Amino acid sequence: MSAVQDLPTPALVVDTAAFEHNLAAMAAALPGDRCRPHVKAHKTTALARAQATRGHRTFTCATPREMEGMANAGLGDDLLLANEVVDPDRLRRLAALDARVTIAVDSEATIDAAARAGLREVVIDVFVGMPRCGCRAEEAGRLADAARARGLVVRGVMGYEGHVVGVHDRATRVEQTEAAMLQLLDAHADVGGELVSGGGTGTFDINTWVTEIQAGSYALMDTAYGHLDLPFELALSIVATVISVSESWAVADCGLKALGMDHGDPTVIGHTVWYCSDEHVTFGPETPVAVGDRVRVLPAHIDPTVAYHERMHLATDDDVVDTWEIDLRGW
Amino acid sequence: MSAVQDLPTPALVVDTAAFEHNLAAMAAALPGDRCRPHVKAHKTTALARAQATRGHRTFTCATPREMEGMANAGLGDDLLLANEVVDPDRLRRLAALDARVTIAVDSEATIDAAARAGLREVVIDVFVGMPRCGCRAEEAGRLADAARARGLVVRGVMGYEGHVVGVHDRATRVEQTEAAMLQLLDAHADVGGELVSGGGTGTFDINTWVTEIQAGSYALMDTAYGHLDLPFELALSIVATVISVSESWAVADCGLKALGMDHGDPTVIGHTVWYCSDEHVTFGPETPVAVGDRVRVLPAHIDPTVAYHERMHLATDDDVVDTWEIDLRGW
């Protein structure tokens, strides 16, 4: 068994206590199929298997490769690709998987692509306030009819309130989630089917209108979600090595190629971040540091951070107890 | 031969005409060892081989893995790790490479680590204005003596004017480069050795004080450097597929997991970017687009963009003429 202290850096490290707490908290709040964990946040079949052990056997994916990897890992009981794809080759590969595959559609073109590829099940993706994919609620019934006319089974609707999940004030989050979900329920009234899928880590206990929550970040968390009033703990950090120290600042080997930067700078625990460059984080030490010291870096946004790394290490205190390949990267 | 139109997306595509122009322009301006191309920008040994074909046989790296990959690809004539490393295992592996390996040091600790690992050659890394690695110029001579006392060959100095390379006004860039390089020359006077290494794409023709320029971005370019008055063309874009279209916006499958975001949003050619999320760019179409259409996305920062991708495709017009593995990713 190796020690966190000896890992080559930068190294993604998962604190097992916080991780187990997060999985248990979600499994208690949304048992079984009430949570359809989103694998895009961690891209790791071993982590998905831990979620399955907690009772969640349905999963959400963002890319065809995530779907294929989950199916090939034996986690294909019920996989939802919560994204639109029109690439015929990829869609045919999805149709050929030994898994239950459902894909989001939001237009005649995506329905046509799914039907041509031999896919069998879809959900109608509905716009509920965030300008991204999704048809307007009033078009959902027509698209469901069009899909059924092409021989597809329409399992229901999905709509992601991505504009709400990060809202700090809980009362506002509740209000905006309701407004979004009433649109989704309108669509569902026209579409039918057993699934009303939506939500995320930020609305997992607020969004009571859906039949299932697509939460991803809850398992590992990040500083952006950490600012909300959620019962999940920061389980993931990046261990970095101090490589240079001068009078006013120090530098560790965790740069912006090891971090998603769209939510801004990371946090270096116990110190003050100045800025990141490709391979470095420059920080103001709040206590003296020396070359060779280790520091802990907390990413602002977990999804694009994990996507840069090849593996994550599970650590109990300073002992590395397992290492998981991040095997769902790419498209 | 496949067509760009048929590539699975998001796909990194290099325009061969622009790429060849960039390589030729640099080889003409800074022939042979006057340019020490930095591989961190492209992380691709096949691309480095194209640079070597143009006469550049010395290379700059940012990570041990880049060093190992370059050596194993037969491009190890003279590799400079322009970064501080104290990991004993990695340093020993560098010392064992069948390559000429030089590493940057900026402290007693990094000198000690290099000497213990059996490395033979170093440069003294000098702070020239950007708060990152590098000793103060007045300490450089003492560190060089310390390194020589440990049996290391000190090949000279390096100092990166990273705070200057992106300055828009050329006169200011010239003035600030001179101020930075005068510090480096002060250090060199105390250190000795044949190398005075520095510079980047933004100062390749301004920084006449160094013996070699560590330019990386020039080969492929990005929109940040594209705003400067440089003779290099944007050679790299990401081909993405439109997957959803609504009244006011459209969505393509090139999100922030396919883009470095630290320099801000990418550009979608011919349209107006609204924002990026993990797997999507939402944009306002300036001309009508339909699901299945292809769009071209220009990254704001090339280095962290390339680091997300597994391969880049070389295209002459719409024909894919070669595909290169991005084989130097990770650490």
What tens digit of pLDDT does each residue of A140-162 get? 999 999 999 999 999 999 999 99
Residue B328 CB neighbour total at 10 angstroms: 25
Q: What is the mean pLDDT of residues A66-81?
A: 98
Q: Do A132 and B280 touch (CB under 8 A)?
A: yes
Task: Give me the mean pLDDT over the B316-326 stretch.
Answer: 97
Residue B117 touches chain A, beta carbons under 8 Å: no
The per-residue pLDDT for range B237-250, each reduced to its tens digit, is 999 999 999 999 99
State what percent of residues in chain B have pLDDT above 90: 98
Which residues share a beta bridge with B311? B325
Chain B positions in Cβ-Cβ contact with residue A84 (cut-off 8 Å): 243-244, 251, 291
Q: What is the pLDDT of residues B10-20, one digit of tens each?
A: 999 999 999 99
State chain B's mean pLDDT as an integer. 97
CATH for the B4-12+233-325 domain, from 3.40.50.720, 2.30.29.30, 2.60.40.1180, 2.40.37.20: 2.40.37.20
A246 close to B (CB below 8 A): yes
DSSP label of A38: B
Q: Could you tell me the pLDDT band of residue A328, with boundaries at 50, 70 and 90?
A: very high
Question: Which A residues in the span 153-212 are in contact with B, Cβ-Cβ below 8 Å?
Answer: 162
Residue that is written with structure tokens 């299932």 in the block: A212
pLDDT of residue B139: 98
State the pLDDT at residue B254: 98
Q: Dump pLDDT digits (tens) for B82-128.
A: 999 999 999 999 999 999 999 999 999 999 999 999 999 999 999 99
Burial classification of residue A174, based on how many CB atoms lie within 10 Å of its CB (0-12 exposed, 13-18 middle, 19 or more buried): middle
Average pLDDT, integer, range B295-317: 97
Q: Model confidence at A185, in pLDDT bands (50, 70, 90)?
A: very high
CA distance B178 to chain A (A): 23
pLDDT value at position A1? 67
**Chain B residues with CB-CB distance to A114 below 8 A:** none
Cis peptide before A31 (omega within 30 of 0): no
Which of B241, B282, B331 has the CB atom closest to A132's CB atom? Answer: B282
pTM, to two decimals: 0.96
Cβ-based burial of A311 (10 A; exposed 0-12, middle 13-18, buried ≥19)? middle
Nearest by CB: B304 against A257, A280, A282: A257
Residues A262-298 pLDDT 10s: 999 999 999 999 999 999 999 999 999 999 999 999 9
Question: What is the CATH number that goes with domain B16-217?
Answer: 3.20.20.10
Q: What is the band of B252 on the pLDDT scale with cuts at 50, 70, 90? A: very high
Distance CA B202, CA B207 (A): 9
* Cβ within 8 Å, pair A277-B89: no
Residues in chain B with CB shorter than 8 Å from the CB of A331 are 8-10, 253, 258
Q: Is A276 on the interface with B (CB under 8 A)?
A: yes
Site of tokens 């590829």: A117
Distance, in Å, from the CA atom of B178 to the CA atom of A185, rounded to the nearest integer, reads 65
- Rounded CA gap, A257 and B199, in Å? 21
- pLDDT category of residue B286 using cuts at 50, 70 and 90: very high
> Is this complex's ipTM strictly greater than 0.95?
yes
Cβ atoms of A54 and A34 within 8 Å: the answer is no
CA distance A191 to A153: 11
The rounded percent of chain B whose pLDDT value lies above 70 is: 100
Distance between A186 CA and the closest CA of chain B, angstroms:
19
Query: E strands of chain B, at which residues?
Result: 11-15, 58-61, 78-81, 101-105, 121-125, 153-159, 195-198, 212-213, 236-245, 250-252, 267-268, 271-277, 280-285, 294-298, 311-316, 319-325
CA A325 to chain centre: 16
> Could you tell me the end-to-end alpha-carbon distance of chain A, in angstroms, rounded to an integer?
33
| Contact state of A8 with B331 under an 8 Å Cβ cutoff | yes
CB contact (8 A) between residue A278 and residue B303: yes
Question: In chain B, what are the domain boundaries?
Answer: 4-12+233-325, 16-217
How far apart (Å, rounded) are the C-alpha atoms in residues A72 and B69?
A: 30
The residue count of chain B comes to 331
A225-229, B21-25, B307-311 — which is least confidently predicted? A225-229
* Angstrom distance (rounded) from CA B244 to CA B249: 9
| A288 vs B: CB within 8 A | no
Secondary structure (DSSP) of B114-128: HHHHT--EEEEEB-S
The pLDDT of residue B1: 67
Nearest to A165 by CA among A128, A192, A140: A128
Q: What is the CA radius of gyration of chain B?
A: 21
Tell which CATH classification among 3.20.20.10, 1.10.3720.10, 3.20.20.70, 3.30.450.20 matches the domain A19-219: 3.20.20.10
**Residue pLDDT, tens place only, B145-201:** 999 999 999 999 999 999 998 899 999 999 999 999 999 999 999 999 999 999 999
Chain A touched by B291 (CB under 8 Å): yes
Question: B195-198 and B212-213 as β-strands: parallel, antiparallel, unpaired?
Answer: parallel
- The span from the CA of B100 to the CA of B79, in Å, is 6
Query: CA nearest B135 in A: which residue?
Result: A246
Q: Any CB–CB contact under 8 A between A25 and chain B? A: no
- Residue holding tokens 């680590």? B113
Q: Is the pLDDT of residue B131 over 90?
A: yes
A7, A244, A251, A310: best to mutate for the B interface, most B CBs within 10 A: A244
Closest CA to A306 of B104, B256, B198: B256
Peptide bond into A10 cis (omega under 30): yes
Which two structure tokens, joined as six digits, stand for A69? 């990897």
Residue A216: name the closest of A16, A69, A31, A26 by CA. A26
Partner residue facing A246 (CB), from B63, B127, B278: B127
The partner residue sitting opposite B107, judged by closest CB among A84, A244, A280, is: A244
Kind of pairing between the strands at A121-125 and A153-159? parallel
- Cβ atoms of B103 and B119 within 8 Å: the answer is yes
Give residue A319's pLDDT: 97
Q: Please, where are the H alpha helices in chain A?
A: 16-29, 45-53, 64-72, 88-95, 108-116, 140-149, 170-191, 223-226, 302-306
Q: Residues of B232-254 as b/e, b for ≥16 C-beta within 10 angstroms?
A: bbbbbbbbbbbbbbbeebbbbbb
CB spacing of B248 vs A131 below 8 angstroms: yes
